[in-house]
Amino acid sequence: MKRRVLPGFGLTLGYVMAWLGLIVLLPLAALVFKSTALAPSGWWALLSAPRTLAALRLSFGGAVLAAAVNVFAGLLVAWVLVRHRFPGRRLFDALVDLPFALPTAVAGIALTAIYAPEGWLGRYLVPMGIKVAYAPLGVVVAMVFVGFPFVVRTLQPVLESMEREVEEAAASLGATRWQVFFRVVLPLLLPTLLTGFGLALARAVGEYGSVIFIAGNIPRVSEITPLLIVEKLEEFNYAGAAALGVVMLVLSLLLLLLVSLLQRASRRWELPR
Amino acid sequence: MTTRASVVRVLMILVSVAVLTVFLLLPLAVVFSEALKQGLHAFTRVFHQAEARSAIWLTLLVAAIAVPVNMVFGVAAAWLMARFEFRGKALLGAFIDLPFSVSPVISGMAFVLLFGAQGWFGPWLIERNLGVIFAVPGLVLATVFVTLPFIARELIPLMQAQGSEEEEAARVLGAGSWQMFFRVTLPNIRWALLYGVLLCNARAMGEFGAVSVVSGHIRNLTTTMPLEVEMRYNEYDYVGAFAVASLLALLAVLTLAFKALMEWRYRHELAAGGVHR
């Protein structure tokens, strides 16, 4: 075996594994273990309750919708920030990271103040019949907010390193602008878009702070799964809360697995390097 | 053709700017505007209240413990992941990232199930009169869990891109392990480390979901700033809620401003940083 020139392998490996075991794996093991305290009948009662199903549908459906919105908005914003120069570009570029840095509770009350019926935008939207705050749409708006930077930030480096020659070649061979975009640019960006989609999705599914203020939290209408978990904890129904937590973790892992499979399939169209 | 192309370009820029303004700039503006709605006096009065002050102190305390802990972990994990090849490395990387894909509420709940009255270590802790859940140690643990990957994620791509030639040269020339670390490794990663620390700090001070589950919302004892925002908001003290929120928003703006400054001055050093979260 090759002797390692650099020191610290054993020390850092031992430390990182021990710390991950203590801080990450032990608590999650306690969660899985507690969920086994729920009897099969309890699992059935939990998973067949209309309130649970509605919360899961809102959390996962809302997150998929929000991530899809972020793919479109993120593609547009990343494209404009990389390819075009305009006054204030650097300021807007820095602003993209705001949802990473702004605490979720702050984002939650700010979004509510904007979209509430008497709020900055709500006062114009509500008379038009668009109810954002205290409705499922508000949940999606908050999820779009927290997931916004992921698509932009994964796309930017790829767009920067993309060779314009490919687009120019397509254009010189007679392709229209739309053909260049849909036949050349989009297939190249698809794996990256899916990465961004997966990251935004993972973030939106578990989001709590920014959602609970704007959602109104009406059971079976605008109540998200993490809030249902909190309510079960407050009723000291620990086994039920843990079981719902395990269901959420398993569903999000399956969803992310599906995204990475799609990503693998989409790479078939990548140019050979 | 050229005029149509430039119309499309202007339209794309306008739509992007509109999206960024409505979705990102507006929420930021609302926080400060609502905080100052009843004047500067009502705003500053909030920070003379004991609850607000103790929330600020508690937030600083939790971050002062959680951030250095994650800094040591992040540097060690980055050294391990960027400098060595070993079996199970991909799996270890996935475990380092795991807190990113766990809902904050579930993270907090896991600690309740471990240290709460009905948890694995609950009875042992109660016997010794030690409080973890509904007390400061629980807040620290939940914050450490949620912010665990931040610094490691910032350092790993950079250290991988930098390679290990300089460190190997230092070793061959007879530098000790720590000498190599402090004279070669640390200076090479300092800006990325600083940015990772700032991001980690912003998240640690702003963490809500995980902290909310373990806190118990005891005023003056276990209420951090984001929890204080929630409690005031639910008590219809909007000026108070937005005043405390404006301090957190200011922290976020400073973090972003610092990042923009760093990227502008040290673009080449941070270039390998990849996706910042």
What's the pLDDT tens digit per position in A12-35?
A: 999 999 999 999 999 999 999 999
Identify residue A163 by its one-letter amino acid code: E
> Inter-chain contact A106–B248, Cβ cutoff 8 Å?
yes
Residues 248-267 of A with CB under 8 A from B: 248-249, 252-253, 256
pLDDT of residue B129: 87
Residue A268 — pLDDT band, cuts 50, 70, 90?
A: low
pLDDT of residue A273: 44
Q: What value, to the nearest 5°, has the Cα angle with vertex A33 and ends A32 and A39?
A: 100
> Inter-chain contact A103–B19, Cβ cutoff 8 Å?
no
Residues 170-199 of A with CB under 8 A from B: 177, 199
Angstroms from B181 CA to nearest CA on chain A? 10
pLDDT in tens, A198-247: 999 999 999 999 999 999 999 999 999 999 999 999 999 999 999 999 99
Q: Whole-prediction pTM value?
A: 0.93
> Inter-chain contact B76–A16, Cβ cutoff 8 Å?
yes
Q: What value, to the nearest 5°, has the Cα angle with vertex B127 and ends B121 and B130?
A: 70
Q: Are B67 and B197 in contact (CB under 8 A)?
A: yes
Q: Are B104 and B210 in contact (CB under 8 A)?
A: yes
pLDDT in tens, A102-126: 999 999 999 999 999 999 999 999 9
HSE-up of residue B264 (Cα within 13 Å, Cβ side)? 10
Tally Cβ neighbours within 10 Å of residue B76.
19
Residuewise pLDDT in 10s, chain B (277 residues)? 567 778 989 999 999 999 999 999 999 999 999 999 999 999 999 999 999 999 999 999 999 999 999 999 999 999 999 999 999 999 999 999 999 889 999 999 999 999 998 889 999 998 998 889 999 999 999 999 999 999 999 999 999 999 999 999 999 999 999 999 999 999 999 988 998 999 999 999 999 999 999 998 899 899 999 999 999 999 999 999 999 999 999 999 999 999 888 888 776 555 544 444 3
**Looking at the partner chain, which of A17, A154, A209 has a beta carbon nearest the beta carbon of B209?**
A209
Identify residue A244 by its one-letter amino acid code: L
pLDDT of residue A225: 97
pLDDT of residue B185: 95
Tally Cβ neighbours within 10 Å of residue A184.
17
Q: Which of A65-79, A127-141, A182-196, B241-255 has the lowest mean pLDDT?
A: A182-196
What percent of chain A has pLDDT above 70?
96
Q: How far apart are CA A142 and CA A39, in angstroms?
A: 35
A120 touches chain B (CB under 8 A): yes
Round the average pLDDT of chain A to a whole number and report it.
92
Chain B residues inside the 8 Å CB shell of A85: none
> Inter-chain contact A5–B98, Cβ cutoff 8 Å?
no
pLDDT of residue A3: 56
